Structure 1
Amino acid sequence: MKEYEKTYTTKAKFMLHGGDYNPDQWLDRPDILADDIELMKLAHTNTFSIGIFAWSALEPEEGIYRFEWLDEIFNNIQGIGGRVILATPSGARPAWMSQKYPEVLRVNASRVKQLHGGRHNHCFTSGVYREKTQVMNRLLAERYGEHPSLLMWHISNEYGGECHCEKCQAAFRDWLKEKYNHDLKSLNDAWWGPFWSHTYSDWSQIESPSPLGENMVHGLNLDWRRFVTDQTISFFENEIVPIRELTPNIPITTNFMADTHELIPFQALDYSKFAKHLDVLSWDAYPAWHNDWESTADLAMRVGFINDLYRSLKQQPFLLMESTPSLVNWHKVNKAKRPGMHLLSSMQMVAHGSDSVMYFQWRKSRGSSEKFHGAVVDHDNSSENRVFQDVAGVGQTLEKLSDIVGTNRPADVAILYDWESNWALNDAQGFGKETKRYPQTLVAHYRTFWEQDIPVDVITKEQEFSGYKLLIVPMLYLVSEEMIAGLKSFVANGGTLVMTYISGLVNEHDLTYLGGWHKDLQAIFGMRPVETDTLYPSDKNYVIYRNQSYELKDYATVIELNTAKPEGQYKEDFYANTPAVTSHQYKGGKTYYLGGRLEDEFHRNFYQELISELALHPAVFIKHEKGVSVQVRQSPEHDYIFVMNFTEEKQPIVIEDQVKDLVTGEELKGELTLEKYEVRILEKARGRASSFEGGMRS
């Protein structure tokens, strides 16, 4: 495994605990603001994000600035030893700006200008908005850049969306000219222009997809999504010019998101590109705990996948910038966290690499759309209710975990996630409209390692592969020549590579490879996929692997063998008794191809073989039952072990090495019982050898 030194990404050597604080909503209530300071101490909180939506309070009229209230907030937080994450307020404009400068308003895909209201409906290309944000951010940096409480900059909030105005159309054409070296023929070739007579004879003819879902020029769709990411990053970079100039030593973040119902990575922006522009990555996590469609353990596993993706983007600790201590107000059903879940879910974030537990929001709004969204301080203004006490308990726990700050999670296993490939696959008019499910498929391959407590990095194609023993690339539909060369080198140099159905079908322009599967993929896998069968939900087929039958659904690839070894066969249909799973030795490494979408039990058994073969094992072995997760962060000297019960019952565990409970101070070894939703946080010196020798837990 890789070894990491501590990385103090925020320059704070303590766990951050606090959240979004909106004193601008309470400026006419000094008694409320005074209560906040006292409640912050009682809640064991230490850090607050301020100013995220405060533009109208900071600049109520154009050129008229009101910073006195923010001065007072800074000083009050400093008075209790707290820290401030200062936000730039570009996520929501004041009404006077929309009225005077309508170009700042976003235009939707149907070419309709949006009205003022809501948030995140500004044009990223607007020169006026770029200028106004820079003016505001310069004033903030000049005034607060040297304030002793300033810990970080929080740039805007949850970037997303797109604009189709004329300024954005012109910017898109300029982006395309640069990408294709001002050669319109190259663009037409990349977009397969003759299809439906979509060849362009002048750059001015090109427009963004409108509406996006009905445009059949897939190269255009793919480049538009790339442009949206790049233009969002460009807006971000414009925002931070005065901040980098005036406060070069203050780290910068912005809060990434996840799509919530199935908890998959946010789809609209390529975060692998955006992450490179941040000093610290943070994200807003709102899992639907206690839902009625999955077990608590299944949801925890998917939370772990997102955490491991966002941690891996920068290979350093991240921040949980927003979470709820109780419930949200925008799920279909807004269910409260049950007793014990707030501590457990918070510690899971820390276990996977977070150096913070932050909330949206500190105090519930009195009106508008978030007045019933969960908060630390409810409308009763009390420190005695259950939620407040849960928050205080998390704060007391975090105060004992300072040694964990800056530590990472080394991994020998990597799963590759690619935003562009997912965009192209979703656009592809083939396969099953509802069954592509690329992110969900990656989570299915992640499951076994999470259940076995084996750490995983969820990486992107720009990252280095060579440090891993095992690389898994499910459904990697879009694969460039450069990417194929990287995979080939990884295997040739001793790596083990797993690929699946619907992989390697198109290049970076979403054009298919002629002549069938790419010759280099055929070389390293020793076979080629010749046909993909798409199944109805009612269709049944099976794969026989190691004399056991596993259910297959959605997809089956017909495989032509060359030098590969067949490891499993289809049971039914016209491809019965033909290879469904293959292996192949290529130079110093080995490849596996899984031709069909198979059930979880297949993944458990298939990956267990690789776990044994490659000597993959947990950083620390603790014996436990299914539904308990053991995750480890490491410093050069210590293992920090989080043992978490994501089941509804008590669970026995067996600790085989002497450890110390960081919360209680107890020395522990042997059998222990975890209560429902209980978490234990343990420390073990790295010098002590683990008794783990591999193999399944009982």
Structure 2
Amino acid sequence: MTDPHEIQPTQDASPPQWPSTVPGLAYGGDYNPEQWPESTRLEDVELMGVAGVNLVSVGIFSWAMLEPREGEFEWDWLDQTMDRLHGAGVRAALATATASPPPWLTHRHPEILPETADGVTLWPGARQAYSVSSPIFREYALRMTRAIAQRYAKHPALALWHVDNELGCHNAHDYSDDAAEAFRSWLETRYGSVEELNRAWGTAFWSQRYSSFAEVLPPRTAPMFVNPTQQLDFHRYSSDELLDYFREMKAILREVTPTVPVTTNFMCTTRSKNMDYYSWAGEMDVIATDHYTVADDAHRHIELAFSADLTRGVAGGRPWMLMEHSTSGVNWQLRNHTKAPAEMMRDSLAHVARGADAVMFFQWRQSQTGAEKYHSAMVPHAGTASDVWNTTVSLGEALQRLAPVKGTRVEAEVALVFDYEAWWGAELDSHPINDLSYPEEMLHWYRGLWESGVSVDVVHPSADLSRYRAIVVPTLYLVTDAHAANIAAAAAQGASVLITYFSGIVDEHDAVRLGGYPGAFRELLGIRTEEFWPLQAQEQLRLQDGTRAELWSEKIHLHDGAGAAARAVRRFESLNLTEDSDADPAAPAPTVAPTGEFPLAGWPAVTRRETGQGAAWYAGTRPDHEGVRALLAELLIEAGVAPVHEDAPEGVDVIRRSAGTGREAESFLFALNHTGKDARLRVRGVDLLTGKKTRGRLTVPAGGVAVVHEA
């Protein structure tokens, strides 16, 4: 089977990879004039000029307004909007309007509605009330797409096509009869025969053998655990089915407007696992994503950095678009966080630092009615007499000053390997640990890298790893032979590779690799794990070097592999009981179990083996935060990776974007101060945000940002 991550896009034309009519960095947000009277629409265009807006997304949820009755189109309001935007020098990312079907369509054809695994119909009244597998829905959606494309193909405001919106955000997994039929077709294409499907799914277990594809269903609710490979393939099918829907829409847009770039807004975050965006990337003319921070995350700025680095990884290093984020609070969390002006500015420029050439928000004007009326916007309920509006204007001015950054790239010497299929596999049920969170594992190691001050590319295991000095591979539970070989080759070529526990365990069919764990990486690492030893919530390990670990341990045997023997870098010492958060603070401290009572005392916890020109490390446990920092420090020193800026204080994020070589080289140093104190850096150049020369010393205010065009 072909690796979908290596598929090249099929295009009849070569449109630009950026909305070419948008000058400088793009700035704006979702614009929904259909929600407002004429007087407000006129004010909107005037205020966009004040804020420096040059790109807005239009028409995302406008199907019912554009086609209020089947076959009857009302274009006047959108015609007028497009004309006004053009007159104001603002370009449009025009949507296909298909993100939510109109009530007349779902009333006439309720069979297009999606269903849950329990057979519950997801009814209209919100958004995305459609089954992407429904032929009837597709017919209507494609017709709407063609109508909009033909109407605005030659409009001078049109700069970019925005297909649907956040595809699969609420309806990625549909278990309806239409989805069942599409799933069976997908499986037949993937496996070719039902015999091959039976082999891949291991249907000899629990009498699940199929005699024809017609007998196969989506993994609907069952009396016990559903076949894990069936679940895994349903994840793959669901991602592919949504991508197929995108391709059909794109084909129409390409036919009508062959030189206008096409995108859709991804959700490259630690909270969106339904689409394999690496496999989607080749179909996008430009990568766009949405990102929102989580209020109760004390390290939300680090999660933001990870998500931005992930987006850049999906984009293959090319500049990308931040299509949505928030000016302040959102409406969908338990307790929503209000951003201070400095945080809004810092969040926005943190994305730019990591490769975004567009900063956009949901939405331009805060809604007065509807489910998202308490979601912040560029023009808030309070109007222009507000901190949010003032920061909106200030951010527009800052982005205009940062125009020279456009098109430059972030260069990293460290890779963090991330795979959606490994995510799907690692979080299947009936595992040794059933509360493992793949995103938490990624962030656990990413935070250590972030605090080390190094730049990180978050890449797929099929990526070219030869250019990285250090590679961290957290919990790559599911891995193909080819991807495992790619990681091993990087180590042989000179990289220091760190692989963490529960990696290499199964192949692409979720079949365990026999002979001892970690399966696919056993020879590379020079180890063989006999048995997993998961820890209970209140248990913590002490390692012999004084560091601590949690969650996981395993019985590791050292062996020679195909080259030098592996050695233990850290060993288990004892098992401790951690404090119960509900315990009486006056109670005695928890006791430490005697070393003799912990069967793995003295066994390897972290190993290292030289291979080729590099080294392969293995963490057979989950070091705590300080343990991660210490381990990564050793890895980075060995790999010869230095921080982007050697004297950056703790909590000051420093990233460099650059372009060109030799005399033509340019570099821009971003410094984002996430602390409450002013920070000082040695750097020479001009701070683009203030216009001042640094003269070798730069002060970044508490909570502030500086961007130095380095001399």
TM normalised by structure 2 equals: 0.90
Q: Is contact 1:109–1:164 with CA below 8 Å preserved after alignment?
A: yes
Asked if 1:168 corresponds to 2:179, the answer is yes
Q: Is contact 1:364–1:372 with CA below 8 Å preserved after alignment?
A: yes
Aligned-residue offset at 1:78: 1.0
The one of 64, 86, 96 equivalent to 2:72 is 64
**Aligned counterpart, 1:30:** 38
What stretches of structure 2 of length at least 5 have no aligned partner?
1-15, 560-564, 575-597
Of 196-205 and 393-402, deviating more is: 196-205
**Aligned counterpart, 1:623:** 647
The one of 193, 203, 211 equivalent to 2:203 is 193
Q: Secondary structure at the match of 2:547?
A: strand
Aligned-residue offset at 1:672: 4.2
- Matched ranges for 1:642-653 at <5 A: 642-647=670-675, 649-653=676-680
Q: Is contact 2:63–2:100 with CA below 8 Å preserved after alignment?
A: yes
Q: Secondary structure at the match of 2:407?
A: coil
Aligned-residue offset at 1:670: 4.3
**Aligned counterpart, 2:681:** 654
Tell me the number of residue pairs that the alignment of Structure 1 and Structure 2 aligns. Answer: 659
Q: Secondary structure at the match of 1:345?
A: helix
- One-letter identity of the residue aligned with 1:412: E
**Aligned counterpart, 1:634:** 658
Q: Secondary structure at the match of 1:372?
A: coil
Deviation per residue, 1:266-321 (Å, 9 max, x gap) = 111211212222111111111135x4x52xxx221111111101111122111111
Aligned-residue offset at 1:433: 2.1
Q: Is contact 2:505–2:519 with CA below 8 Å preserved after alignment?
A: no
Q: Is contact 1:52–1:88 with CA below 8 Å preserved after alignment?
A: yes
Aligned-residue offset at 1:379: 3.1
The CA distance in 2 between the partners of 1:233 and 1:484, in whole Å, is 26
Q: Is contact 2:225–2:429 with CA below 8 Å preserved after alignment?
A: no
> Could you say if the C-alpha distance between residues 518 and 367 of structure 1 is closer, same or farther in structure 2, counting changes exceeding 3 Å?
closer
Of 226-235 and 108-117, deviating more is: 108-117
Aligned-residue offset at 1:150: 1.1
The CA distance in 2 between the partners of 1:215 and 1:275, in whole Å, is 33
Structure with greater contact order relative to length (CA < 8 Å, sep ≥ 6): 1
- One-letter identity of the residue aligned with 1:661: D
The CA distance in 1 between the partners of 2:551 and 2:381, in whole Å, is 49
Aligned-residue offset at 1:617: 2.2
Q: Secondary structure at the match of 1:229?
A: helix
Q: Secondary structure at the match of 1:414?
A: strand
Q: Is contact 1:417–1:460 with CA below 8 Å preserved after alignment?
A: yes
The CA distance in 1 between the partners of 2:69 and 2:62, in whole Å, is 13
- Matched ranges for 1:104-143 at <5 A: 104-143=112-151
**Aligned counterpart, 1:576:** 601
The CA distance in 2 between the partners of 1:518 and 1:437, in whole Å, is 19
Q: Is contact 1:632–1:642 with CA below 8 Å preserved after alignment?
A: yes
- One-letter identity of the residue aligned with 1:640: F
Aligned-residue offset at 1:520: 6.2
Deviation per residue, 1:655-695 (Å, 9 max, x gap) = 1x42111122111034444332111111114xxxxxxxxxx
**Aligned counterpart, 2:396:** 395
The CA distance in 2 between the partners of 1:363 and 1:585, in whole Å, is 58
Q: Is contact 1:229–1:270 with CA below 8 Å preserved after alignment?
A: yes
Asked if 1:216 corresponds to 2:230, the answer is no
Q: Secondary structure at the match of 1:340?
A: helix
**Aligned counterpart, 1:270:** 276
What stretches of structure 1 of length at least 5 have no aligned partner?
1-6, 686-698
> Could you say if the C-alpha distance between residues 482 and 622 of structure 1 is closer, same or farther in structure 2, counting changes exceeding 3 Å?
closer
The CA distance in 2 between the partners of 1:415 and 1:530, in whole Å, is 27
- Matched ranges for 1:147-166 at <5 A: 147-160=155-168, 161-166=172-177
- Matched ranges for 1:517-596 at <5 A: 517=517, 521-544=521-544, 548-562=545-559, 563-572=565-574, 573-596=598-621
**Aligned counterpart, 1:469:** 469
> Could you say if the C-alpha distance between residues 299 and 83 of structure 1 is closer, same or farther in structure 2, counting changes exceeding 3 Å?
same
Aligned-residue offset at 1:654: 2.4
**Aligned counterpart, 1:667:** 693
**Aligned counterpart, 2:368:** 366
The CA distance in 2 between the partners of 1:353 and 1:518, in whole Å, is 35
Q: Is contact 1:629–1:646 with CA below 8 Å preserved after alignment?
A: yes
Q: Is contact 1:17–1:356 with CA below 8 Å preserved after alignment?
A: yes
Q: Secondary structure at the match of 1:624?
A: coil
Deviation per residue, 1:590-626 (Å, 9 max, x gap) = 100111100121222222222222221244x262321
- Matched ranges for 1:608-619 at <5 A: 608-619=633-644
- One-letter identity of the residue aligned with 2:103: A
> Could you say if the C-alpha distance between residues 596 and 59 of structure 1 is closer, same or farther in structure 2, counting changes exceeding 3 Å?
same
Q: Is contact 1:134–1:240 with CA below 8 Å preserved after alignment?
A: no
Q: Is contact 1:488–1:520 with CA below 8 Å preserved after alignment?
A: no
Q: Is contact 2:321–2:356 with CA below 8 Å preserved after alignment?
A: yes
> Could you say if the C-alpha distance between residues 428 and 99 of structure 1 is closer, same or farther in structure 2, counting changes exceeding 3 Å?
closer
Aligned-pair RMSD on alpha carbons?
Answer: 1.8
Aligned-residue offset at 1:101: 2.0
**Aligned counterpart, 2:49:** 41
Asked if 1:253 corresponds to 2:263, the answer is yes
Q: Is contact 1:255–1:282 with CA below 8 Å preserved after alignment?
A: yes
Deviation per residue, 1:245-284 (Å, 9 max, x gap) = 11122111111125xxxx6141112112122221111111
Aligned-residue offset at 1:346: 0.8
The one of 336, 339, 342 equivalent to 2:341 is 339
**Aligned counterpart, 2:580:** none
- One-letter identity of the residue aligned with 1:164: Y
**Aligned counterpart, 1:694:** none
Q: Is contact 1:466–1:490 with CA below 8 Å preserved after alignment?
A: yes
Deviation per residue, 1:351-374 (Å, 9 max, x gap) = 111111111111122212112211
Of 61-70 and 476-485, deviating more is: 476-485
**Aligned counterpart, 1:598:** 623
Q: Is contact 2:94–2:161 with CA below 8 Å preserved after alignment?
A: yes
Aligned-residue offset at 1:488: 2.5
List structure 1 runs of 4+ shifted beyond 4 angstroms: none
Q: Is contact 2:505–2:520 with CA below 8 Å preserved after alignment?
A: no
Q: Is contact 2:17–2:261 with CA below 8 Å preserved after alignment?
A: no
Q: Secondary structure at the match of 1:489?
A: helix
